[in-house]
Amino acid sequence: MFNRILVATDGSDNAHAATEYALNLLRLHPEAKVVLINVFKVPTLREYDAHVSIENAYRKRSEEVLDEAAEAFEKENFLVEKVALPGDPGEVICQYAHETGCDHIIIGATGHSQLGAFLFGSVARKVTRLARCPVILICQSC
């Protein structure tokens, strides 16, 4: 039932709860593979050098978020894959899940951009619309 689980994280409280949920699933299904993903948006700039430098800063922060989320799994000797990608978070999460054969996506109901979610729609909402596999939506603070 659970073979390859994609856990989207942005370091928010609900993302931490989603990570904990995935860890509990892994305890029940230790044969499953967990992939942590963080998708970062890079502002569009005309200056190439400035764009590369900003993208590198966003990628570094993304990798820090992934390392922090991976600690919980590593403490229990579970291996996790970490993926940091640029782009639109909702679209990239769903595309990655589809292309790599993930059978479930676990995501926090709201992340760090709650105001953005109010104005434009949340990443979680987009994932539930676009995903081709079941989505487990976690809400610790709802």
Q: How confident is the model at residue 119 (pLDDT cuts 50, 70, 90)?
A: very low
User: Can you tell me the distance from the alpha carbon of 6 to that of 81, in angstroms, rounded to the nearest whole number?
Assistant: 9
Q: Which of 5, 32, 3 lies closest to 19 in space, CA to CA?
A: 5
Amino acid found at 3: N
Q: How confident is the model at residue 54 (pLDDT cuts 50, 70, 90)?
A: confident
User: Can you tell me the distance from the alpha carbon of 138 to that of 115, in angstroms, rounded to the nearest whole number?
Assistant: 18
User: Residue 9 is part of which domain span?
Assistant: 4-138
- Check if the beta carbon of residue 81 is closer than 8 Å to that of residue 33: yes
- Check if the beta carbon of residue 86 is closer than 8 Å to that of residue 39: yes
Tell me the three state secondary structure of residue 42.
coil
pLDDT at 48 over 60: no
List the CATH number of the domain containing 105. Answer: 3.40.50.620
What's the pTM? Answer: 0.88
Percent residues over pLDDT 70 in the chain: 85
Q: How confident is the model at residue 130 (pLDDT cuts 50, 70, 90)?
A: very high
Tell me the three state secondary structure of residue 90.
helix
Q: What is the pLDDT of residue 43?
A: 74
Q: E strand or H helix at 116, and its extent?
A: helix 114-120
Q: What is the pLDDT of residue 111?
A: 59
Number of folded domains that form the chain: 1
pLDDT tens readout for residues 7-47: 999 999 999 999 999 999 999 999 999 999 999 988 776 55
